[in-house]
Structure 1
Amino acid sequence: MTIKVRGLRWWMIGLLTLGTITNHLARSSLSIAAPTVMQHLHISLHQYGWITGAFLVMYPIGAPFTGYLMDRIGLRTGFLICGAMWSLICMAHGLVTGWVGLFVLRGALGFAESAFIPAGMRAAASWFPARERGIAAGAFNLGTSIGVIMAPPLIAWSILAYNWQAAFVVAGSLGLAWTVLWLAFYRHPDRHPALTAEEASYIDAGNDVDPTVPNETRSPIREILAQRNFWGIALPRFFADPVWGTLIYWMPLYLYQARGFDLKTIAMTAWLPFVAADLGCMMGGSLSGYLNRRFGTPLVDGKRMVFTLGALLMTAMAGVGLVRSPGAAVFLLCLGGFAHQTLSVTVISMSADLFPRREVGTVTGLAGFVAGIGNLCFTLLIGWFVGRIGYTPFFIALSLGDLIGAVFLWRLIGRTPSVPGTRERRPHELQPID
């Protein structure tokens, strides 16, 4: 007799969150180990710039491919393949003997790791009714901050206890362990033996499936790109994602160069914005649902409101370079992390609200490509800003990007029904692959 599990959808999103943690743990491993690796392999700063650039180039390129993969072969198999890839690639970092090997591996890692957002939204679209998808998106996005927070102590311990090669093996091994759990426990809700009938009905009743289009029909990518709703998601992400890249790649350097923090002080403070970001994940995911329950606000309109609120909070980051107190600067960076994740999870989860489930992975991946281009462009520009006129104008520009994104969000996305999820499933629809 199969054991039925109540609230199984939350266990499934928790399993995906574990995968997100291993994803960002592998991603952050090189930045933590960089001083040791660069010394042992005689890598210059110029060469290290090429190594980090390889990830930033391949990440947006990989997003459409991995998103399409989820939609074609299913989330269970597709995310399993990508998880195994990023884990093995991370472990292979310990085998390199020069910067060229790291350059190739970081590019491959960026391609494989681009799967986590398309996978997360595919899972949210399959396992959650429309009114809970924002919370689900916030839940799996928690793994991004947790992975970044876990990386420094784990990688540092591995290097001190063994060597720098072992650090990558340890990080990659955790990813491989997760793939075993994923393979063992994840199933699509239509095929999961532990799903109760009550929860299945609850999920199904809240899903909005277009009754005019059979489930086996998928829109060509060119048709997706021609839709205003797609650009209403993609362009705000273009302006929003550079904030996250700044916190991960540039914040420690800013604290060192502009605020005079030593390594110990950086270690004690640099994780704080990511804790604030975790709170933002849950705020962004739950607030739009609250507006729907309390005031009857359409879910997409509620998410646009939450995005706008986050964009307004983000303007406080303009003061990071202006305040005199280092503590105030760290506080504003924390507020930026909170605001970014508040608005980020809302716009990411809209792909499941505005597009059929059969296209969610593809749409999210294509939007991720646009977001990655924004992150890459901003990363290239920051060197020009800092080298010539300092950090202050950079933070001012960073603080205004989300306001531009909010304008696109309101102007491009069409009107939405006030009661989502009321459309019924056609009897002849095929079961989705997962």
Structure 2
Amino acid sequence: MQKSVPHFRWYICGLLFFATTVNYVDRQVLGILKPALEHELGWNEANYGWIVFAFQAAYALMMPIAGRLIDWLGTRLGYALAVLLWSATSMCHAFAGSAWQFATARFALGIGEAANFPAAIKTVADWFPRRERALATGIFNSGTNVGAVVAPLLVPWIAARFGWRSSFLATGSLDLIWLAAWIMLFRTPRQHWLLSSRELAYIEGDGGAEPPRRIPYSQLLRQRGAWAFLFGKFLTDPVWWFYLFWLPGFLNQNYGLDLTHLGPPLIAVYVSADVGSIGGGWLASFFSNRGWPLTRARKTAMLICAFGVLPVIGVMWAGG
């Protein structure tokens, strides 16, 4: 008889963290290589802007569709197909030789990567009780920043030794390692042979593994919470995308940092974001475990994190 693994839900969270990490490594490669690619392929800022736009447009258009597909296909199959797609399209960047070819590859990458967060959030809802979901989400979401930290360490090293095309091939192949682990290890809580009956009861005792409910978009858009979330993302995402896609080029143009010297400042930014991601999830769980209502606990954690952003205003007066 197969022995259960204690706290197995956190191993599932680890898989989500790994997926989100490689997701962001793949999308970060282009930004890090931007100065070198502009020089080699003759891009200008307008060309690069369209390449970034292609990814963003595909990502935005596919996000609501991806959620439906994950519900329809199931998390295990849907997530696996999404990762297979973004792995293949990430490696296709290695064979691009013009701006429009890169834009095409980025568009396809955006289609695949859009499924990551719907699939991960659905997995958290299935595998964690309500009081632990903020922490689990914070942990897997910290993979965005870990991926952004790993990329400046890994990509310049590969590009300097094997060429920029090898950077796309190497990072895209990392997804296949995750894919094998996901197919072997992931099942729903009730189907999993490594989950103890005690842990299953703990998950389901607080609203875990709830049956899916289909909610029309018309009903969803009547919820104040949905609009609050949309407005919050509208304000914060442009800042994050700047750090992800434009910061390497900004540092190169304004401070003369080449490919081999971009790592330290980029890592400083993304490690700080990593601390905030995990810390924000932990803080919400901390308040909730002390009897605070979930809504109040989460809003308070977000407010504290929002105050932490204010010092970035000082960058306007920063020198070299």
> TM-score, normalized by length of structure 2?
0.93
Per-residue displacement from partner, 1:293-323 (whole Å, max 9, x unpaired)? 22x1111211011111122222222221124
Query: Of the candidates 247, 250, 253, which is equivalent to residue 246 of structure 2?
Result: 250
**Which residue number corresponds to residue 13 of structure 1?**
13
Secondary structure, counterpart of 2:189 in structure 1: coil
Matched, 1:90 2:90: yes
Query: Of the candidates 233, 238, 260, which is equivalent to residue 237 of structure 1?
Result: 233
Query: Of the candidates 270, 282, 288, which is equivalent to residue 286 of structure 1?
Result: 282
Instruction: Give distance in 1, aligned partners of 2:101 and 2:215.
Output: 39
Per-residue displacement from partner, 1:271-296 (whole Å, max 9, x unpaired)? 112111111112111111111222x1
Instruction: Give distance in 2, aligned partners of 1:104 and 1:74.
Output: 28
**Which residue number corresponds to residue 322 of structure 1?**
317
**Which residue number corresponds to residue 301 of structure 1?**
296
* Residues 323 and 172 of structure 1: CA distance in aligned 2, closer, same or farther (over 3 Å): closer
* Matching residue's letter, 1:317: V
The range that moved more, 82-91 or 199-208, is 199-208
- Write the mapping of 1:358-397 to structure 2, written as runs, cut at 5 A: none
**Post-superposition offset of 1:112:** 1.3
Instruction: Give distance in 2, aligned partners of 1:290 and 1:60.
Output: 33
**Which residue number corresponds to residue 61 of structure 1?**
61
The range that moved more, 5-14 or 233-242, is 233-242
- Write the mapping of 1:18-417 to structure 2, written as runs, cut at 5 A: 18-207=18-207, 215=211, 217-257=213-253, 260=255, 262-263=257-258, 266-294=262-290, 296-324=291-319, 326=320
Secondary structure, counterpart of 2:34 in structure 1: helix
* Residues 208 and 195 of structure 1: CA distance in aligned 2, closer, same or farther (over 3 Å): closer
Secondary structure, counterpart of 2:142 in structure 1: helix
The range that moved more, 128-137 or 146-155, is 146-155
**Post-superposition offset of 1:217:** 4.6
The range that moved more, 311-320 or 131-140, is 311-320
Instruction: Give distance in 2, aligned partners of 1:314 and 1:76.
Output: 36
**Which segments of 5 or more consecutive residues in structure 1 lack a partner in the other structure?**
327-434
**Post-superposition offset of 1:193:** 0.9
Per-residue displacement from partner, 1:217-240 (whole Å, max 9, x unpaired)? 512222212222222322222212
Secondary structure, counterpart of 1:5 in structure 2: coil
Task: Among all aligned residue pairs of Structure 1 and Structure 2, give the percentage whose two residues are the same amino acid.
Answer: 32
Matched pairs, number: 319
* Matching residue's letter, 1:101: Q
Secondary structure, counterpart of 1:97 in structure 2: coil
Aligned-CA RMSD value: 2.0
Per-residue displacement from partner, 1:322-352 (whole Å, max 9, x unpaired)? 245x5xxxxxxxxxxxxxxxxxxxxxxxxxx
Secondary structure, counterpart of 1:193 in structure 2: coil
* Matching residue's letter, 2:201: S
* Matching residue's letter, 1:178: W
**Post-superposition offset of 1:140:** 0.4
The range that moved more, 164-173 or 151-160, is 151-160
Per-residue displacement from partner, 1:344-396 (whole Å, max 9, x unpaired)? xxxxxxxxxxxxxxxxxxxxxxxxxxxxxxxxxxxxxxxxxxxxxxxxxxxxx
Instruction: Give distance in 1, aligned partners of 2:305 and 2:196.
Output: 37
* Matching residue's letter, 1:121: I
Instruction: Give distance in 1, aligned partners of 2:166 and 2:247.
Output: 26
Check conservation: 2:23, 2:113, Cα contact below 8 A: yes
Per-residue displacement from partner, 1:20-44 (whole Å, max 9, x unpaired)? 1111111011122233333443333
**Post-superposition offset of 1:270:** 1.9
